[in-house]
């Protein structure tokens, strides 16, 4: 990489090392310290913000779990990031939002490959970039009422009492999508295979059957969710490997995968969900073949999804999940997760 082409004078990135070797050293500075290293010198700042450096950094990034946590005693909201490989937590800069923001009014979503996190708060949209470890204001939807969101094929789809909104980060613009079939008591959203699944799930005192819809992003159309899917959705939904999983919020929290052909949920194989260290409430997300679940106290369970060859994709018996737990520091015991997102950082 040439950083100072055309300049008469330049400084070495690291004295005594060729710039090519120094660049490799900077590329291996882990998140979130790379953003801080920009302040070392103007030379480092230009190198780290160079487009070819950012492109190279993407190949070395790995998934980090970002959790919006609520403190039960102080009511404080804060974003924290977990590096699963080192089990280290990092505190993000404070989100620029009103101090009295209610977690239920925030619709959070991510574009993992771009390293970007988005929070829709009323008519305002906030964007966080892992590359710079900074928040910024993005284009607002112009309407309120979005309470849930998901990243789908490079766009953010938000739903709620305000209808449907689709945000394009490249143009920093929102467009209005087709209307949802009706209002829900609560909104849980999962995206898989170019579709957004929205359900209200079961809620006490279980007098009404849950409702649910499926949004086809490319067609901008909603259809009613299958009976088996919406009535069997009794926990936290997560998408991984193109499938929709559910961690039940009862008993030992069995993990199930949705069988679209049969419109039913099937218990997966593999190890049992680590219920003894994972205390409700749960919050989950997924990326590639991994499922991430955070719980009260911010313990995190990471499930590795494996598909047994030779069996159909629609059968739940072909899927197994094995779990490992990253236990949080005791200082986090009063925190509960409100949202979980995975970003490459």
- 160-198 pLDDT, tens per residue? 887 899 999 999 999 999 988 777 878 889 999 999 999
Mean pLDDT score of the chain, rounded to an integer?
A: 87
Dist CA 316 CA 22 (whole Å): 49
Per-residue pLDDT, 240: 96
Q: Rg of the chain's alpha carbons, rounded to an integer?
A: 21
Q: Are strands 116-121 and 106-111 parallel, antiparallel or unpaired?
A: antiparallel
Distance CA 339, CA 324 (A): 20
CB 254 within 8 A of CB 267: yes
Residue 205, preceding peptide bond in cis (omega within 30° of 0): yes
Residue spans of beta strands (DSSP E) within 200-334 = 212-216, 221-224, 235-240, 243-248, 255-259, 264-267, 269-270, 283-287, 290-294, 300-307, 319-326
pLDDT at 279 over 90: yes
pTM for this structure? Answer: 0.88
Instruction: Kindly tell me if the per-residue pLDDT of 112 is higher than 80.
Output: yes
Torsional sign, CA 218, 68, 247, 243: positive
Average of per-residue pLDDT across 26-55: 82
> Of 148, 174, 284, 156, which Cα lies nearest the Cα of 217?
156
Identify the CA nearest to 63 among candidates 240, 234, 191, 236.
240
Q: How confident is the model at residue 314 (pLDDT cuts 50, 70, 90)?
A: very low
CA 274 to chain centre: 21
Helix (H/G/I), strand (E/B), else coil: 46: helix
Q: DSSP letter at 227?
A: H
Burial (CB < 10 A; 0-12, 13-18, 19+), residue 271, is middle
What are the φ/ψ torsions at residue 112 (nearest 5 degrees)? Answer: -55, -45
**Predicted local distance difference test score (pLDDT) of residue 101:** 65
**What are the tens digits of pLDDT across the range 188-245?**
899 999 999 999 888 777 777 889 999 999 999 999 999 999 999 999 999 999 999 9
């Amino acid at each position: 990489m040439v950083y100072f082409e055309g300049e008469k004078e330049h400084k070495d990135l690291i004295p005594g090392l060729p710039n090519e070797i120094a660049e490799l050293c900077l590329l291996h500075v882990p998140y979130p310290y790379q953003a801080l290293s920009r302040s070392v010198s103007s030379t480092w700042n230009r190198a780290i913000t160079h487009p070819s450096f950012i492109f190279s950094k993407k190949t070395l990034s790995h998934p980090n779990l970002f959790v919006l946590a609520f403190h039960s005693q102080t009511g404080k909201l804060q974003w924290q990031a977990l590096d699963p490989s080192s089990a280290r937590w990092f505190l993000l800069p404070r989100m620029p939002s009103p101090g009295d923001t209610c977690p239920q009014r925030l619709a959070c979503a991510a574009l993992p490959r771009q390293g970007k996190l988005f929070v829709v708060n009323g008519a305002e949209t906030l964007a966080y970039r892992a590359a710079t470890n900074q928040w910024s204001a993005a284009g607002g939807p112009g309407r309120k009422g979005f309470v849930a969101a998901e990243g789908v094929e490079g766009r953010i789809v938000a739903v709620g009492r305000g209808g449907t909104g689709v945000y394009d980060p490249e143009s920093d613009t929102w467009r209005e999508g087709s209307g949802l079939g009706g209002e829900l008591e609560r909104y849980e959203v999962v995206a898989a295979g170019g579709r957004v699944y929205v359900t209200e799930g079961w809620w006490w005192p279980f007098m009404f059957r849950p409702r649910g819809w499926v949004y086809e992003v490319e067609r901008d159309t909603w259809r009613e969710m299958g009976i088996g899917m919406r009535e069997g959705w009794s926990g936290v939904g997560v998408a991984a490997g193109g499938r929709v999983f559910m961690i039940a919020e009862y008993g030992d929290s069995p993990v199930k995968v949705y069988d679209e052909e049969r419109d039913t949920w099937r218990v997966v194989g593999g190890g049992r969900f680590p219920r003894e260290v994972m205390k409700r409430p749960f919050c989950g997300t997924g990326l590639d073949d991994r499922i991430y679940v955070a719980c009260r106290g911010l313990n995190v369970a990471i499930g590795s999804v494996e598909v047994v060859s030779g069996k159909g994709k629609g059968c739940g018996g072909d899927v197994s999940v094995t779990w490992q737990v990253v236990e949080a520091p005791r200082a986090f015991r009063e925190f509960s997760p409100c949202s979980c997102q995975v970003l490459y950082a």
